[in-house]
Amino acid sequence: MHESISLKVPSDLKFMKIVEDLIKDTCETLPLTEEDTEALIESTEELMRNAILHAYKDRQGYIQIGLHPFKTGLRIDVHDWGLPMSYKKHISVPLEENASEGFNRIYDLMDLFEYQNLGKDGKKFVIIKYASHPLHKEEKVEKTVPLLPDKKPGVKKGEDDLPVIVREFAEGDEEGIARLIYKNYGYSYIKDLFYYPQKVFESHGKKFYSIVAQREGRIIGHFALVLVPESTIAEIGVAVVDPEFQGRGIMNRMLKLVLKKAREIKLDAVFGEAIMFHIYSQKANLHHGFSEAALMLGKVPVDTTIVNNELAQKYKRGAVLVGYYFFTKERKKLYLPEVYKKQIKRTYSSATIPFVKAKKRREKVPEHVFLSYTFDPPTNIAKIRIDHYGKDLKQKFLILLDQLKAKHCDMIYADISLEKIPQIDKVVKLMNKRGFFYSGVMFFYHERGDYLRLQLKHSDKIGSKNYVCYSDFCKRLSKYIRKDEKRVKTV
């Protein structure tokens, strides 16, 4: 039995000598020929060179070499934490017939050559060399991998002087998107799906739709339309522009195409969550016709930073302002809780959404009620959904709340249907007594229904003042929320 060996070196080719000696020493314990050993050394050096030149193009990093001997050969893993790479780059080799460099050379030298995308944990190449055998030398086994078509969209002049084209996602964009996220956030971005080029490709059109900005074949901007499950709305987000091209109107151009795509797929509305450390995203949403509807404290993780922004350096979870852009404005019948009636009416009026007050019907209260919740570990946030009132609501709600608190959620949000609960005052009173206070209105949020959103702090790292408001509506909403938070403490 052979033991595995791991060596982590800086991303500098001068450390290849150490790696080479390690491979030679390991191969001496195995039935590998000098030719096999040289092939392993050459392939490993090529993979290290690839990481240094491409993965760590503009920065320093580390490369981990793992040697895994077995009875008839040696497996070597080359692991880096640099720029993401499309899986297609690997499966499309050999790129050129009789090529003698790069992945083509590795493919020719090794018996197995694999690529693994590890998401936030970087990527890994795996090579295997089996011990040479006389039979292997008698006939050359031909290795083939299907070639992929080379289709790259052309670059056209944009509306401004910058030669940028803004368009919908196309196959082949997935690696550029992952690299763009990495360039702006490193491996700290919450939506880690976007670090996996293959998952980006497979999920497009199912979980989200992407709009990209391209310059000379390079992805320099991205904006996504993230679909809300079991609903007819989507969140606009994963919006990023390469730092080299920021401040040139690219984000606005992408947002226009995002809204056009939302119309095409017949959404009722889209919403955006503007981070409130600054006013720029709030101003952009208002400029494009968004209506502000809710202010969610603690939605932004505590480690989110913005360069030269004092509010983002308070080491408190930040707030987001939820704004809606409507494609449908149908009249709703609402059960309005007495304590929040005026504020909810103001929100509908601001959004110019028509509604009527639903008449409370005398119905037999069901014995049981079903509560549902979601918990997102990366953000440490939970959401509770309440669609119906029942005699056992209090008992089930308290059990659920204890379970979520045991998970140490920083924030817990509660969505209460404004259209299905005649006894909404009883539900709100129950929530207020447990510390939930006002957040806002979420339109079309669950199965096209409108919901009152309340919020509960469950951490001392929730910032209540580390945000700024741009609009008068936001300022009034912020004041109202602070006042309601104080009120529920006395309930």
Interval 366-393: pLDDT, tens: 767 778 899 988 889 999 999 999 888 9
Tell me, yes or no, whether 170 and 262 share the same domain.
Answer: yes
Q: Is 352 exposed, middle or buried (0-12, 13-18, 19+ CB in 10 A)?
A: exposed
Domain boundary among 326, 348, 375: 326
Token pair 């809204």 is found at 259
Domain boundary among 279, 307, 326: 326
Q: Which CATH number characterizes residue 267's domain?
A: 3.40.630.30
- Residue pair 337/360 in contact (Cβ under 8 Å)? The answer is no
Q: Which CATH number characterizes residue 345's domain?
A: 3.40.630
Token pair 């403490």 is found at 489
Determine, yes or no, domain membership for 53. yes
- What's the Cα-to-Cα distance from 306 to each of 239, 301, 315, rounded to whole Å? 15, 12, 12
Determine, yes or no, domain membership for 288. yes
Side-chain-side CA neighbours of residue 37 (13 Å): 16
- What's the Cα-to-Cα distance from 488 to each of 190, 342, 395, rounded to whole Å? 32, 17, 20
**Predicted confidence (pLDDT) per residue in 43-73, tens digit:** 999 999 999 998 898 889 999 999 998 877 8
- Measured over all CA atoms, what is the biggest interatomic distance in the chain, rounded to whole angstroms? 89
Question: What angle (nearest 5°) sits at the alpha carbon of residue 209, between those of residues 203 and 214?
Answer: 110
Tell me, yes or no, whether 96 and 79 share the same domain.
Answer: yes
pLDDT lower than 50: segments of the chain: 1, 91-100, 133-160, 307-309, 311-312
Cα separation, 45 vs 427, whole angstroms:
65
6 Cβ contact partners less than 8 Å away, ≥ 6 residues apart: 64, 65, 66, 67
pLDDT for residue 139: 38
Domain boundary among 276, 308, 326: 326
Cα separation, 381 vs 217, whole angstroms:
38
| DSSP character string of 163-193 | --EEEE--TT-HHHHHHHHHHHHTT--S-GG
Tell me, yes or no, whether 390 and 268 share the same domain.
Answer: no
Q: Which CATH number characterizes residue 128's domain?
A: 3.30.565.10
Tell me, yes or no, whether 210 and 240 share the same domain.
Answer: yes
**Distance linking the first and last C-alpha atoms of the chain:** 68
Q: 3-state SS of the chain: helix, strand, coil percent to 5? A: 35, 30, 40
Q: Determine the residue type at 324.
A: Y
| pTM of the shown model | 0.71
Determine, yes or no, domain membership for 269. yes
Tell me, yes or no, whether 351 and 477 share the same domain.
Answer: yes
pLDDT for residue 184: 79
pLDDT for residue 156: 40
Determine, yes or no, domain membership for 202. yes
Determine, yes or no, domain membership for 145. no
Tell me, yes or no, whether 385 and 423 share the same domain.
Answer: yes
Determine, yes or no, domain membership for 152. no
pLDDT for residue 2: 61
Relative to beta strand 165-168, strand 208-215 is: antiparallel
Determine, yes or no, domain membership for 156. no
Tell me, yes or no, whether 262 and 390 share the same domain.
Answer: no
pLDDT for residue 87: 60
Cα separation, 80 vs 60, whole angstroms:
11
Token pair 């509506």 is found at 473
408: left (phi over 0), alpha (psi -120 to 50) or beta: left
Cα separation, 152 vs 279, whole angstroms:
37
Tell me, yes or no, whether 347 and 475 share the same domain.
Answer: yes
Token pair 């009034």 is found at 476
Strands (E) in 144-275, as ranges, are: 165-168, 208-215, 218-227, 233-241, 269-275
pLDDT for residue 482: 95
- Residue pair 169/212 in contact (Cβ under 8 Å)? The answer is yes
Q: Residue 68: which domain range?
A: 5-138
Tell me, yes or no, whether 286 and 390 share the same domain.
Answer: no
**Does the N-terminal peptide bond of residue 94 adopt cis geometry, omega within 30 degrees of 0?**
yes
Q: Is 326 exposed, middle or buried (0-12, 13-18, 19+ CB in 10 A)?
A: buried
Side-chain-side CA neighbours of residue 342 (13 Å): 5
204 DSSP assignment = B
Tell me, yes or no, whether 313 and 340 share the same domain.
Answer: no
| DSSP character string of 312-369 | GGSSSBEEEEEEEEES----EEE---GGGHHHHHHHHHHTT--EEEPPPP--PPPS--
Q: Give the chain's domain count.
A: 3
Question: What angle (nearest 5°) sits at the alpha carbon of residue 401, between those of residues 398 and 405?
Answer: 140
Tell me, yes or no, whether 251 and 219 share the same domain.
Answer: yes
pLDDT for residue 432: 98
- Give the closest residue to 278 by CA, choosing from 318, 237, 231, 218: 318
Determine, yes or no, domain membership for 386. yes
Tell me, yes or no, whether 321 and 345 share the same domain.
Answer: no
2 DSSP assignment = -
- What's the Cα-to-Cα distance from 167 to each of 155, 180, 439, rounded to whole Å? 10, 16, 35
Cα separation, 360 vs 412, whole angstroms:
29
**Collapsed DSSP state (helix, strand, coil) of residue 95:** coil
